[in-house]
């Protein structure tokens, strides 16, 4: 999926978090959003995922001005195209893990679900309630959901932050595989290993520096 920003900016409680940011992300691209803590990575991810509204500029998704989308269009974007790999967003705590993968009560494809759970290191956990999962397990559950729904755009916020080395490698490889299979994968991260695997990074601090130097 092609997602483009044109001069987007956001202010929260009178404070400019970022402004005049423009870029294009293409299908099959894996992009890191980098910058120091507090520079606005999560906020930018939320804006791209249409969870948070921008104050200025436009977000263009597949040639449509998504900043103008109504609830109905946003909902179908979230349902059909987008997947969010966040620790604290999108997991339905009082449902089991399998339901959280499919978001469908009629789970005919049990074998497929089991395979995907196994792939993300949650093999055999399908019947556990999502509430009992750790932060890192919830992120892996988010990856399982993205794989199951064949998301064409994946937003991940610090997906490797709370993982040990082996699970970190698993997640990095899975995200890479998602992008190689055609998804645009956008990741807010501090993890250098993950940044190195990405095709490109968008550094929020660089935008500030370019602006200060009059180059934007």
Ligand X SMILES: Nc1ncnc2c1ncn2[C@@H]1O[C@H](COP(=O)(O)OP(=O)(O)OP(=O)(O)O)[C@@H](O)[C@H]1O
Applying CB under 6 A, which residues contact ligand X? Answer: 12-13, 17, 35, 37-43, 188
CB 178 within 8 A of CB 154: yes
213 binds, among ligand X, Mg ion, none (CB under 5 to 8 A by kind): none
Tell me how far apart the alpha carbons of residues 201 and 155 are, in angstroms, rounded to a whole number.
14
Three-state secondary structure call for residue 164 = coil
Contact pattern from residue 160 through residue 199 relative to Mg ion, giving x for each residue in contact according to CB under 5 A and a dash for the rest: ----------------------------------------
User: Which residues, at least 6 apart from 40, have a Cβ–Cβ distance to it below 8 Å?
Assistant: 10, 17, 18, 204
What residue spans of the chain are helical by DSSP H? 41-48, 71-76, 97-102, 110-119, 135-149, 165-180, 192-197, 204-212
The least distance separating ligand X from the CB of residue 174, rounded to whole angstroms, comes to 22
The count of other CB atoms within 10 Å of the CB of residue 41 is 24
Q: Which residue has the tokens 């959901």?
A: 145
Phi-psi region of 207 (alpha: psi -120 to 50; beta: other; left: phi over 0): alpha
Tell me whether residue 137 or residue 157 sits nearer to ligand X (CB atom): 157
Tell me whether residue 34 or residue 102 sits nearer to ligand X (CB atom): 34
127 binds, among Mg ion, ligand X, none (CB under 5 to 8 A by kind): none
Tell me how far apart the alpha carbons of residues 64 and 32 are, in angstroms, rounded to a whole number.
24
Task: Scan residues 16-55 and list those touching Mg ion (CB under 5 A).
Answer: 41-42
How far apart, in Å, are the Cα atoms of 13 and each of 10, 45, 85?
A: 10, 19, 26
35 binds, among ligand X, Mg ion, none (CB under 5 to 8 A by kind): ligand X
Tell me whether residue 46 or residue 67 sits nearer to ligand X (CB atom): 46
Tell me whether residue 15 or residue 111 sits nearer to ligand X (CB atom): 15
Tell me whether residue 36 or residue 182 sits nearer to ligand X (CB atom): 36
The least distance separating Mg ion from the CB of residue 107, rounded to whole angstroms, comes to 33
Q: Which residue is nearest to Mg ion (CB)?
A: 42
Tell me whether residue 4 or residue 42 sits nearer to Mg ion (CB atom): 42
DSSP class of residue 210? H
Task: Scan residues 107-126 and list those touching Mg ion (CB under 5 A).
Answer: none
The least distance separating Mg ion from the CB of residue 161, rounded to whole angstroms, comes to 9
Six token digits for residue 122: 């949650």
The least distance separating Mg ion from the CB of residue 36, rounded to whole angstroms, comes to 10
**Site of interaction with Mg ion (CB under 5 A):** 41-42
């Amino acid at each position: 999926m092609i997602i483009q920003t044109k001069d987007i900016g956001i202010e929260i409680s009178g404070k400019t978090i970022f402004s005049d940011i423009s870029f294009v992300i293409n299908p099959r691209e894996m992009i890191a959003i980098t910058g120091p803590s507090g520079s606005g990575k999560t906020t930018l991810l939320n804006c791209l995922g249409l969870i948070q509204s921008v104050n200025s500029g436009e977000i263009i998704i597949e040639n449509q001005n998504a900043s103008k989308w109504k609830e109905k269009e946003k909902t179908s974007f979230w349902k059909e195209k987008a997947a969010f790999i966040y620790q604290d967003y999108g997991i339905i705590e009082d449902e089991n893990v399998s339901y959280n993968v499919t978001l469908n009560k009629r789970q005919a494809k049990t074998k497929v679900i089991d395979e995907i759970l196994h792939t993300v290191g949650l093999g055999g956990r399908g019947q556990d309630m999502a509430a009992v999962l750790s932060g890192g397990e919830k992120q892996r559950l988010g990856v399982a959901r993205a794989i199951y729904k064949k998301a064409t755009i994946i937003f991940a916020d610090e997906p490797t932050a709370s993982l040990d080395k082996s699970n970190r490698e698993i997640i990095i490889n899975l995200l890479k595989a998602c992008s190689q299979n055609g998804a645009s994968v956008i990741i807010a991260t501090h993890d250098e290993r993950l940044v190195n695997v990405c095709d490109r990074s968008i550094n929020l601090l660089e935008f500030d520096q370019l602006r200060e130097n009059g180059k934007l």
